Amino acid sequence: MSPEVFVDILRDALFLVIVLVSAVIIPSLIVGLIVAVFQAATSINEQTLSFLPRLVITLLALIFGGHWLVQKLMDYTFRLIASIPSVIS
């Protein structure tokens, strides 16, 4: 296996990880920002007020985006397995 092939596989894997993590984390970050602005405006410093909405949004993102996330991961895995003969030879 040449170094270029290894770098391409690693680049694709890292990009997939970034996409999958971003699909779950970005909605949580947006809700966290909205809650932080609300807390700053009302001077409420309750920890659970910040944690609970982010947890709920993260779970909803996993529930609604789970099929897409698993499909992307399966597509990458199938492409990786299908490329084994060309990588070995």
Render each residue's pLDDT in the chain as its tens digit; 89 residues: 788 888 999 999 999 999 999 999 999 999 999 998 998 898 888 877 888 999 999 999 999 999 999 999 999 999 999 988 888 87
C-alpha dihedral (73, 79, 82, 86), degrees to nearest 10? -130
Count of C-beta atoms within a 10 Å radius of residue 87: 13
Q: What is the pTM of this model?
A: 0.79
Structural tokens at position 44? 């409420």
Buried b (16+ CB within 10 A) or exposed e, 30-63: ebbeebeeeeeeeeeeeeeebeebbeebeeebee
Q: What is the pLDDT of residue 44?
A: 83
